[in-house]
Amino acid sequence: MMRLALICGAVLCCSGLSAAEFPVDKSLNNDGFETIFDGKSLRGWHVSTQTGHSGASMHTSGGKWVLEEGAITGSQDIPGNGGIILTDRQFGDFEVIVEMKNDYGPDSGLFLRSNDKGQAYQYMVDYHNGGNLAGVYGEGLSGGIHLRNFDFLDDVKKIQTKDAPFPCPIKPADWPEFWKHGEWNELRARIESNPPKVTTWINRVRFMEFTDTEKRHPDTGSIALQVHGGGDYTKEFVRYRNVRVKSLK
């Protein structure tokens, strides 16, 4: 009986961990969004060769971006050479949703109000050892903006939380249940006003809030996806699909 009780207790304990409830933001909804990438063509998007990540090609190419199985799929086109793919349209105050299934290794990002030089407020998609998701970074902007509340360790299933103005909402022990590597996960960002307030979510859980203290970038810009330069990531890929946006003004 004692042995049976111990076994049952272990099963219940494990069941409790696998059924962890995450702090989903119940204020979110998908009303009013329009699809700006439907998985059928890259019409409405263009590749920029002007960022610092395209230096390996002497700014003659901006990485390799193709339509593959309904996703925008990016990689370096030659070792060390990345870049960004941007919407032709400009947006001001908006919320954007993308689904992401990247290989673990390439450095990427979701750029908000980007120009062709890649200057933007960035939702970090640094999906590699020592990297971060959903932090906010000032790509090419003044002010040293760089906020993150966790780091990946030596495995995609392992994170270490960091002190930050907005604490990490997911405990390291729960991360493997929350984040599904190799499956499609939802990334969401909102940018409002100027100086802007930037809010980020992963799988509908709010991860970061940042309000800038000064106006350091235009009121409008493109939505962009990045393949980082450096290293050799010609055989590892970033993948994004179901890109949707809602204007807030």
Q: Which two tokens stand for residue 114?
A: 């980007």
Instruction: State pLDDT tens for residues 9-23.
Output: 443 344 343 445 899
d(CA 217, CA 121): 9
What are the extents of the domains in the chain?
42-247
User: Would strands 120-126 and 71-75 be described as parallel, antiparallel, or unpaired?
Assistant: unpaired
d(CA 47, CA 85): 4
pTM, two decimals, is: 0.91
Ordered per-residue pLDDT tens for the chain, 249 residues? 444 444 444 433 443 434 458 999 999 999 999 999 989 999 999 999 999 999 999 999 999 999 999 999 999 999 999 999 999 999 999 999 999 999 999 999 999 999 999 999 999 999 999 999 999 999 999 999 999 999 999 999 999 999 999 999 999 999 999 999 999 999 999 999 999 999 999 999 999 999 999 999 999 999 999 999 999 999 999 999 999 999 998
List Cβ<8 Å contacts ≥24 apart for 165-171: 165/209, 165/210, 166/207, 166/208, 166/209, 166/210, 168/207, 169/22, 169/23, 169/205, 169/206, 169/207, 170/22, 170/205
- In the CATH scheme, what architecture does the domain 42-247 have? Sandwich (2.60)
The single-letter code of the amino acid at 122 is Q
d(CA 217, CA 33): 25
Provide the β-strand partners of residue 126.
107
Instruction: State pLDDT tens for residues 173-215.
Output: 999 999 999 999 999 999 999 999 999 999 999 999 999 999 9
